[in-house]
Every structure is written in structure tokens, then in C-alpha cells.
Chains A and B, each alone.
Chain A
Amino acid sequence: MNAQTTDSLTAAEMAHAHPNPNAHASDSNHGTRRSYLIGFALSVILTAIPFWLVMADVIADTMIATLVIMGFGVVQILVHMIYFLHMNTRSEGGWTMMAAIFTIIVIVIALSGSLWVMYHLNTNMMPGHIMNPADML
């Protein structure tokens, strides 16, 4: 009696979590032709603009140009993760998203930490272009 109730509850839960019971084996890990085409169109646009910016030398300020290009890169990575890798908070019970967030945190620490710590790498060397020792003081 007890087991039967449990089963029916589980079935109800599962039906609730997955409206399409056939989608189980592969989870919700596939898109439609439409979503692939949207992702492709977005990534073409997001690739073409930064290439054009650099090749046509549109932005004079190097700093601003670098930031704009990096921005396009980040957005395009997000587009790929959503439309091609089908990332969402539900697949594998949220564990893919968990692993991704953990990885992103480690990457941010590794990248920003390395760049920060190593920023003065060349300052502490004996640079060839400093001819006057007094400049180093």
C-alpha cells in the first residue's frame, strides 16, 4: 500500500518536472532547428563586428577598442553556451550549471590573479631601455 502511494507520487513529480516523458534519456539537451539557426546568426554577427572593428581600425582609442572586443567575446561565449551547448539550470538536476559556475569562479581567480600578480613582471627586471640608473630609483 505504502509503496504504491510512493510510486504514484514519484510519477507525479516526474511528470511535473518533465512535461514530455520521452525526453528522459537525453534530458533537455537538444535544441530545435530554429534555436540552432538563431544561435548561428547571433554568433556570425558577434564575430563579424569585432573583426570589422579591428580590420577597419574603427575605434582610435586602443583601450576602448580592447574593452569593446572583449565584451563581444564574452557575449558570444554566452550565446554558444545557451544555443549550442544547451546550458540551462535544469539539465542533470542543475549539476552542469553548478560545475560551470565553479569553473568560471576558478578561471576568474586564475586569470585576474595571474595578471594582477605578474603586472610588474618587467618592472622588476633590468630593462634594456632604461639607460640612466637614476630612472630606476
Chain B
Amino acid sequence: MSSQVQTADGEAPQYYELVPQHHSAHGSTQIGFWIYLMSDCLIFASLFAIYGVLGANYAAGPSPEHLFNLPLVAVSTAALLLSSITYGFAMLDMEEGKQRGTVLWLAITGLLGAVFLGLTLYEFYHMIHEGAVPQRSAFLSAFFVLVGTHALHVTFGIIWLVTLLAQIGWKGLIPANKIRVQCLSMFWHFLDVIWIGVFTVVYLMGMLR
């Protein structure tokens, strides 16, 4: 060392890291993805705020109790909840290095996501067919933007999942793919968290109004 700082008792000071730093190739991917999720959270927060402000402005149009079909919402909620635990099983199999199990659980997760998406699209189709289009009232505009944004996220989650299945099939469970599976896991569970807010605020509280 070129320069040495001497302490009072003449010993050279010793430096060490209080917080261990990891410098692996993907060390900052997860925290970066987490920051993205938090910013996505803010998008949904503003959409929830819009729905909270405009959710009761029916403009003499249809109101939630005429439009919403709670059993249908319960089924799509069940599909999304189940997909969370199946993704968890995929993560566990990945930790143990079981590629077949990982791929199988991921595929089941994707199918459950597709069921959820299908039910949401069916609901949208049904509502639009009845004349409850987004431009009908402020309530419907806010509803379609909020639920539609969530459905769009699920759509991209499924696209990501299919892409990941192809990548795992091609290269196996290499470290890069493992990181991708972990990031998608965060994304998928995050969408589930948002859906909890949606079915609570939009559907359940809508039926109570």
C-alpha cells in the first residue's frame, strides 16, 4: 500500500465490509426488477385512485350489480390463486435442479393464467355486448382501464412464460434462465397482489354499493 494512515496506538486501521457485497453476473437483476414492479405498482395506484373517484358515476347507465357476475369472478380468482401456488412449485423444482418438473409446473401456471385471461375477456365481451362499453359512463371507463391494464399484464406474463419455456427447452436451467424464472415469479405474484385489490375494490365493494 502506498499510504498508511496510522491510528493513535500506531496500528494500521483495518477496513472491512459491514454489508457483504455480491458481485455475481446477475447480482443487481432482482433488485432492478423489484424497482420496476414498484413503479408498476404506482401505475395501478393511480388507476385505483381514478376508479375510487369515478366508480360511482354511472351516468344513468348500468351499475355494478347489473353487470358483475360474482361466481365468474370467484372462478377467475381461484384460477389466479392456484397459478400462484403452481408457480411456487415450479420455483421449488428449479431450486432442486429438476428441469422436467419446472417446465411442467410452469406450463400449468400458464394454462391457469390463460383460463383467467379467457374469463376476463368473456366478461368484457359480455359487457360490451350488453352496451356497457367504456364510453358509456365514467364508471365503465375507469373499470375497463383498471381491469384491462391488469389483464394486459397477465397477457404479457403468459407471453413471457411461453418464451421462458422455449428458452429452458433450448438451453436448460442455466443461471441466466434461473434468474429469468425468478423475475417472472415476482411479476406473477405481483399480478396476484394487484388482483386482490381489484376483486376487493371493484367487484366486492361494487356489489355492496
> Which residues on A are within 8 Å of B, measured CB to CB?
2, 5-6, 9-10, 13-14, 17-18, 24-27, 29-33, 36-37, 39-40, 43-44, 47, 50-51, 53-55, 62, 65-66, 69-70, 72-73, 76-77, 80-81, 84-85, 92-93, 95-96, 99-100, 102-103, 106-107, 110-111, 114-115, 118, 121-122
Pick from A9, A69, A70, A110: contact of B42, CB under 8 Å: A110
Known contacts A69-B205, A103-B38, A107-B41; 4 further A-B pairs (Cβ under 8 A): A26-B182, A54-B204, A70-B201, A114-B52
Pick from A24, A53, A69, A106: contact of B22, CB under 8 Å: A24
Q: Please indicate which of the listed interface residues B26, B192, B208 has the most CB atoms of chain A within 10 Å of its own CB.
A: B208
Contact between A80 and B84 (Cβ–Cβ < 8 Å)?
yes
Interface size class of B (residues with CB under 8 A): 35 or more
Contact between B85 and A50 (Cβ–Cβ < 8 Å)?
no
Q: How many A-B residue pairs have CB under 8 A?
A: 150
Interface secondary structure of B, over-half rule: helix
Interface secondary structure of A, over-half rule: helix
**B residues less than 8 Å from A80 (CB atoms):** 84, 189, 192-193, 196
Contact between A54 and B208 (Cβ–Cβ < 8 Å)?
yes
Known: A92-B34, A99-B34. A25 touches B24 (CB 8 A): yes
B45 CB within 8 Å of chain A: yes
